[in-house]
Every structure is written in C-alpha cells, then in structure tokens.
Amino acid sequence: MESEEAILREIIIKIGGKGSEALVPILISKSNLDEFKLAEKAKMTINQLRNVLYKLHANDLVSFTRKKDKKKGWYIYFWTLNKPKALKYLLEHYGNERKQLENFIEVRQKKNYFICSNCHIELNEESALEQNFECVECGELLVLKDDRADIKKISKDLEELDKRITHLRGLVSKFELPQRKVKMKEKIKKFKKKGKFVQKAKSMKSVKKFKKYHERKAGKKKRR
C-alpha cells in the first residue's frame, strides 16, 4: 500500500493543481512554515505559492498563523498542513467514487443495454426502443450488450478501492486515536478533581447494598 507521503501528494496535487508537487515533501516535514522560505524551497514565486495555498486553504487542508514583521510593517504568514483533514478529504472522495462504481454494477445487473457494434454507442433499453433498435449514426441494428465483462472489471476496481479505503482509514485513525485518548484523560481528570467520579461510584454501591439489605429483611418478615 502507498505511504502516507504518497497519499498526501495525491490529495495536494488533486486540489492544488500542477506545480504543487514540489510543496508536498516540505509541507509534510514541518509545520508553521514561513511562506517566503516555503516559496524559496519549492522554487516557486510567492504568487504561485499563494495560489496553491489558497486552494488548499479553501478546502481546509492547510491552516495559517500570521505575525507582523516589525521592521517592514507587513504580515508574514506561517502555513501548516492539516494531515488528518487531508486524509479525510481523500476518504470522502473515495467514498463518492465507491458509490458510482456500486451504482454502475447495480444498474447493469438490473437493466438491459444495447450497443452498436460499429460505433460502440451504448443505449439503455428505453432509448434503444425509441429509435427502433437502430443506430442513429450508421443504421446498424443494435444488439443486446453482454455486461458480464464490464461488471467483473468494475467489481475488481471496487475491491481495489475498498483496500485503499481500509488503508486510508487506518492512517486517519492513527491521528484520531491519540486525540481521543487525550480527551478521555482530560475528562477523567476533571471528574477526579471534583471528586464526582469516586463519590458517585461509592454512593451508588452503598445505596444498592442498603436497598438489598432492607428488601431482604422485609421479605423475611412477610413470609413469617
């Protein structure tokens, strides 16, 4: 399977367009990158760089902070790649692709398609019927299309895509798991600070015990 870098490259180029390739290794390796240094390293003009960064930013794939340069009086922007967001973005893209493939298979399994063996134009049954099963281009009689090979190919593509999706989910969870753990720890800390966590647990136990004890006693009395 592809490395994280290869995947991030795919996403950045998809959104940033041509010329954004040079940015990938730099953005991956560091955060808070001074945009002038970034442009220099990527061998881009500052305008080319900003063009790409704005596109990435519009999709929430990079974030920035800015600091005023005291000498020059203007702002300098520092950029950081948002890796989990970028991976999730691709995951979403794959999800849409998956739907299209599934849809193709479903439609082809349910419905008949007709084809002209000269022009290779494909038509669904309704359209073929409308033109009397004759090709509008060459007049040839349309024939029922055997979809089995297509379905097989698309099914294979779907399998490949699923593998990529699983791999990508693994990469995404690598970022999410530590975050979730940190959040959980913070929650427990808060509870412990207030003493709620321990108190609640203790009081629940003692209330249950108390209830059970009295229920047993009451039951014995009734039976007598």
Residues that bind Zn ion (CB under 5 A): 116, 118-119, 135, 137-138, 140
The CB-of-139 to Zn ion minimum distance in angstroms stands at 7
Distance separating alpha carbons of residues 100 and 116, to the nearest angstrom? 24
Phi, psi angle pair for 73, to nearest 5°: 85, 0
Q: Which is nearer to Zn ion, 139 or 195 (CB)?
A: 139
The CB-of-111 to Zn ion minimum distance in angstroms stands at 21
Q: Which is nearer to Zn ion, 1 or 119 (CB)?
A: 119
Contact 133, 114 (CB under 8 A): yes
The CB-of-131 to Zn ion minimum distance in angstroms stands at 11
Q: Which is nearer to Zn ion, 107 or 119 (CB)?
A: 119
The CB-of-89 to Zn ion minimum distance in angstroms stands at 42
The residue of the chain with the least Cβ separation from Zn ion equals 135
Contact 132, 199 (CB under 8 A): no
Distance separating alpha carbons of residues 74 and 60, to the nearest angstrom? 24
Q: Which is nearer to Zn ion, 97 or 140 (CB)?
A: 140
Number of other CB atoms surrounding residue 164 within 10 Å: 17
User: What residue has token string 């039951």?
Assistant: 219
The CB-of-130 to Zn ion minimum distance in angstroms stands at 15
Q: Which is nearer to Zn ion, 102 or 140 (CB)?
A: 140
Contact 103, 154 (CB under 8 A): no
The CB-of-127 to Zn ion minimum distance in angstroms stands at 13
Distance separating alpha carbons of residues 61 and 117, to the nearest angstrom? 47
CA dihedral 199, 204, 209, 214 (to 10 degrees): 120
Measured CA distances, 198 to 203, 217, 223 (Å): 9, 29, 38
Q: Which is nearer to Zn ion, 58 or 119 (CB)?
A: 119
